[in-house]
Chain A
Amino acid sequence: MSLTARVSPSPHPVVQALHAEWTKLRTVAGPAWLLAGVIALTVAVGTVAAGAAQCPSAACGIDPAKVSFTGLYLGQAAVAVAGVLAVGNEYSAGMIKLSLIAVPRRLTWFFAKAAVLTVPVLIASALAVAGSALAGWLILPGHGFTPVHGYASLITGTDIRAAVGAVLYLTLIALLSLGIATAVRDSAVAIGLVLGLLYLFPIIASLVSDATLARRLQQIGLLSAGLDVQATIGVKTLPLTPWQGLSVVALWTAGALLLGAFALKFRDA
């Protein structure tokens, strides 16, 4: 019932940390450029892939969503850089010491960092995916993706699930990169690890000669599991169901965030 509490309401520490992190993100040009790069790269490559795709006959077996979202192969690298740099720049510039003096509760700082990164990445991912989907929607019907060939319409519930899944996938990749960068504290090593995790699993899966092992690698691999949620045809033959695929990515992200939080809490900055 104290009067002072109403007169000078001091914001909750979490709100303060969020505000501080948002100011950092907003006032540096790098993140904005990176996220613009995510959109440009994803849409440009998706448009080229859609322009090169041809469905000459019925049952040609081409997934229009995967064609449209080809740009995500590159876009996710830019998203990963954004996630890595959110923390990596703090360490490389020595800013981390100042940040932790300002917000001594390290997990609060970590949460604020992750939360503030999530919003712009989510928006950029949504724009990138929407742009790619629009390009595919405009281009693909002219390249044989017509009702005659079994593509009734390119906007169905399945297509919306694929698009939403792709947006969530990109956001999860940014958070995964943030967690790994916090754990290793070096931008270059962190981005090498993240991109290695992303791109090596599908290559290894395609090169091992044991079919069972290959399928298992596709189930646990980040990129291949993330591709499952973007599939719109042949869903029954996928190594995982679409939402299972996204759950695998979410598990990886949760693991990386936990690792980062653990390292941050129990290690000198």
Chain B
Amino acid sequence: MTTAPVTPYRSQAAAGRESFWHLVHAEWTKFRTVRGWMITMIVAIMAVTAFVFLATNVSSSCSGSACPAPPAGPGGEPVTDAFYFAHQPLTGNGTITVQLTSLTGQVAVGPSQTVPGLQPWSKAGIIIKQNTSQGSAYAAMMVTGSHGVRMQWDYVNDTPGLTGSMSASSPRWLRLVRTGDTITGYDSADGTHWTLAGTATLPGLTSIVQAGLFAAAPSNGNTATATGVFRHIGLSWTATRWTGTNVGGSGPNGVPQPGTLRQSADAITVTGSGDITPLAGDGSVLSLQRALAGTPIGLIPLIVVGAMFITTEYRRGLIRVSLTASPNRGRLLAAKAVMIATVSFVTGLIAATLAVAVGARTLARTGVPLWPVPALTLARMLVGTAALLAVAAVLALAIGTVLRRSAAAVAAAIVVIFVPYLLALVPPLVGRGVLARGGFAGGGLSLIAREWLLRITPAAGFSAQQVVPRFSQVADAFYSPNWGYYPLAPWAGFAVECAWAAAALALAFYLLRRRDA
């Protein structure tokens, strides 16, 4: 006798519990019902936002009198525009051609003592500039200390020309041609064979501009000067007398040392200090990034909660219940990671948005020109801050899974994430100043060592907040982590942090499966 096969009874409820999203929901219930953790999230938001008021109080950064705001360039960005300019007016179109035979430099090492020394970005050459006021549009051809011939315009643009060093026997010929609001730069080694270096469009250039010779040398802790010797000066217009001007005067944003102009029968010698670049140095003060300075303060509570999210399960024995409910241990860990990442991301996003909204207002009130922040960069700042906090919390969770003890896990997570950031920032340099590359400020690690910490440790994730791009035509010493410049590109730095979290999660996954709970 045969019977139809009997289908065994299967519970409908069991299938539902297996779902990953039910696990996530269970973790959310665990998280939301611990009052202390919810309060910690609110504290993190408040800490980040409240710090904005301390970090964006820029006007008092000069002790005593208020600092004059730095000049703003044509794009609205803060710029350094201080150099010695030997100029004459040019009306309409025109061409200026010179031969440069020598570029030398001096560095002040004492009150009245100087030693020879040419900075890599010391420069001398020809320039066509709207007028002699700071921040006005310009285009220039120049010979630099160790970066060859360059064409630069409107502060942020820089293209290379002839390479190699210059000497009296191997001079450099430079030429600028103005046609309307377009300026074209050429260079030549012999004065007959010319090469196009670049074409600059300076929108809104008026008919009368100032054209002439210039010299500048960025200070590298000590005041530096550059001296260029110009010969065979050819002007397409009727030459008038050269006027010497220290662009920016000698005030706080002006030239470190007034320049000189010496004319002989066959040569003009121009000496100047200062620089013509996007403003760097104490850069974080001058960008909206400053508003996010409180992120490390919000990071510590998130690390504590991230680690405790699993260690309290071990302490209370809840882990056995959790693993009975979800025997697949990897999925439990994944659900916890998804949950803590989501909560931290939302917390970070709220905190960052509030901080930037408040910071934008307080920074605007100071009157200091700010780096223009495109919408995409702003979005990357906010999402990047939230993401770096979320990944840090996941890393803390993974460390907690590996160590299983609250205190050890919290301490280890803080040491791994936070101490590299601290070591990269200290010694805190208060106020304006420039660190020599490889140099120290009162002990601690060298700038090179500090930048490496921000490349290889989880603290690299802070790169996601950087607003001001690094410009190759600015000396590296101006880009210190203290001022919010990171050695890695935003997403590259974030990827380093993610790699740490992934590695820690892999170890946590391995140990969670292998060990008894």
Chain A residues in contact with chain B, CB under 8 A? 49, 52-54, 56, 60-63, 65-67, 70, 73-74, 77-78, 80-81, 84-85, 88, 92, 186-192, 195-196, 199-200, 202-215, 218, 224, 231, 233-234, 237
Contacts and interface: CB of A to CB of B under 8 A. Distances in A.
Interface string B306-320: 011001100100000
Contacts of A63: 440, 442-444
Contacts of A233: 443
A38 B414 CA distance: 16
A264 B444 CA distance: 39
A150 to B, nearest CB: 14
15 contacts: A49-B445, A52-B446, A62-B443, A63-B444, A77-B414, A92-B406, A195-B418, A196-B300, A200-B297, A207-B51, A209-B54, A211-B63, A211-B430, A211-B431, A234-B442
A80 B60 contact: no
Given A192-B303, A202-B426, A214-B428, A209 B407 contact: no
B356 to A, nearest CB: 16
A199 B431 CA distance: 21
A184 to B, nearest CB: 11
Contact of A209 (B61, B303, B308, B418): B61
Contacts of A231: 443
B61 A78 contact: no
A200 B428 contact: no
Interface in B386-414: 405-411, 414
A188 B415 contact: no
Contacts of A60: 439-440
A52 B54 contact: no
B297 A204 contact: yes
Contacts, number: 150
A81 B431 contact: no
Nearest to B423: A73
Which 4 A-B pairs have CB atoms at the shortest separation, nearest pair first? A206-B428, A66-B443, A63-B443, A188-B406
Contact of B441 (A56, A61, A77): A61
Contacts of A210: 54, 57, 60-61
B430 A215 contact: yes
A199 B423 contact: no
A199 to B, nearest CB: 5
B419 A84 contact: no
A203 B411 contact: no
- Which interface residue of A67, A186, A203 has the most chain B CB atoms within 10 A? A203
Given A80-B411, A209-B55, A203 B442 contact: no
B59 to A, nearest CB: 8
Contacts of A202: 422, 425-426, 428
Contacts of A191: 406-407, 410-411, 414
A210 B61 CA distance: 5
A200 B411 CA distance: 14
B411 A81 contact: yes
B300 A208 contact: no
Interface in B41-66: 51, 54-58, 60-61, 63
Contact of B428 (A56, A88, A218, A237): A218
B505 interface: no
Nearest to A89: B407
B173 interface: no
Contacts of B300: 192, 195-196, 199-200
B304 interface: yes
B293 interface: yes
B296 interface: yes
Given A49-B445, A60-B439, A192-B301, A73 B422 contact: yes
Nearest to A83: B407
B58 A209 contact: yes
Contacts of A208: 54-55, 57
B410 A203 contact: no
Contacts of B58: 209
A173 to B, nearest CB: 12
Given A70-B444, A191-B407, A208-B57, A52 B449 contact: yes
Contact of B419 (A53, A67, A77, A209): A77
B414 A195 contact: yes
A61 B439 contact: yes
B360 interface: no
Nearest to A237: B442
Nearest to B448: A52
B456 interface: no
A218 B430 CA distance: 11
B282 to A, nearest CB: 9
Interface in B415-435: 415, 418-419, 421-423, 425-426, 428-431
B246 to A, nearest CB: 28
Contacts of B443: 62-63, 65-67, 231, 233-234
Given A199-B418, A204-B51, A204-B297, A88 B440 contact: no
B131 interface: no
Contacts of A211: 60-61, 63, 430-431
- Which interface residue of B301, B307, B430 has the most chain A CB atoms within 10 A? B430
Contacts of B61: 209-211
Given A188-B409, A234-B443, 17 more contacts: A52-B449, A54-B446, A62-B443, A81-B408, A187-B410, A189-B304, A191-B414, A192-B304, A195-B300, A195-B411, A195-B415, A203-B297, A209-B56, A209-B57, A209-B285, A218-B428, A231-B443
B421 A203 contact: yes
A77 B303 CA distance: 15
B482 interface: yes
Nearest to B422: A199
Contacts of B296: 200, 203
Nearest to A213: B54
Contact of A66 (B63, B407, B444): B444
A207 B422 contact: no
A203 B440 CA distance: 17
A206 B428 CA distance: 5
A71 B483 CA distance: 25
A184 B149 CA distance: 65
Contact of A61 (B297, B303, B430, B440): B440
Contacts of A195: 300, 410-411, 414-415, 418
A206 B293 CA distance: 10
B234 interface: no
A53 B446 contact: yes
Nearest to A53: B446
A77 B55 CA distance: 27
B120 to A, nearest CB: 17
A192 B444 contact: no
Given A204-B51, A208-B55, A199 B407 contact: no
A189 B438 CA distance: 38
A209 B60 contact: yes
